[in-house]
Amino acid sequence: MKNVFKPASLILYFLAFVVFTIGGMVFAARTGAAEGQGLAGGAIVLFNGLIGGLIGLFLSFFLARSENRSLVIRVNRVLFAMLVLIWVFFFIRGKYITNDSGTSSMMILDEIPLVHSSFGLTKSPNLVNKPDMGMGFFKPDFYDQKVLYFHGPPKEDSRHDLPYDSITFKTTQYGQYEITYGPPFLVPAHLKMDYEIFYLTVVTLHRDWAELVVNRTNGQTAWVSLSQGEVTLWPDFLLNIFSVEFKDVGSKVFYKPMSLSSTVNQPFSFLRPLMIRSDWMKVNLMDEDFKEVGEGWIRWRDGAELLISYNLLS
């Protein structure tokens, strides 16, 4: 028993606890134990880490009782080397980003511009050249899941590393929903929580994941699990909008969904979506009293450019 309190033994306890705790947390993340668990997700990962740490502490205690002190010292060296490798891994992981081609490139922090958002300032680690309209929108399920986790790109087995950030929500005493924490880079496409509006632009869809634009000012993206919210593609989104308007005042309404068709000359104030066919949208023409005065077809997009505007609160 006298060996269990020697300096080498005390170092062994510490190193074993730390390394096995990290191992338990990584195991929980890699097996998806915390996915879809909302606020409990972080606690589940932490609990698995604690179990791992206790196992490491238990094993190290029995090893410390050994009379072979050289073995204890060798194990300490191995555990210390593992701890250093873990630190190096996470350090390098934080320095690298994945570009559009799927290859890694070095991120020089001093050259990344500061981005202002409603939550503060941050250096943006995952920029794209120009934000576009994307495929549609992702709305977090803040009704049943109080944490939305942000990940890096998915691996070949569809799993992710540990989330690098998150958004947390709460329900107020009046039954409304609020954001209690958002990362500094967060600038959603649409955000008005008192109307339960929270949309992030979808740029990539995976079978289990979605890549979202988390900062609309610079195109920074992050990946989320599809189990944490709902994806609405542009046609479905626009067909549930009450009215749309042209961005360009010179845009025209056509009788048929083709540019060579004759144009509709009926005056109108609003356009109400009825049907979408590829780049074309059939609309009702409405006057200032929202009475129907005609119908026609408009071009609602040109490639990745949205040609119309809309108001979610109309």
Name the β-bridge partners of 215. 187, 220
**Per-residue pLDDT reduced to its tens digit, 269-312:** 899 999 999 999 999 999 988 899 999 999 999 988 999 999 88
pTM of the model: 0.59
How distant, in Å, are the alpha carbons of 168, 209, 278 from that of 183?
10, 20, 36
**Per-residue pLDDT reduced to its tens digit, 183-240:** 999 999 999 999 999 999 999 999 899 999 999 999 999 999 999 999 999 999 999 9
What's the pLDDT at 45?
77
What's the pLDDT at 123?
35
Across all residues in the chain, what is the average pLDDT? 81
Tokens representing 184?
């500094």
Q: What is the architecture, at CATH level 2, of domain 241-310?
A: Roll (2.30)
- SS3 of 73-124: the string is HHHHHHHHHHHHHHHHHHHHHHHEEECCCCCEEECCHHHCCEEEECCEEEEC
Tokens representing 158?
């569809």
Name the β-bridge partners of 168. 147, 181
Q: Where are the domains of the chain?
A: 2-98, 115-236, 241-310
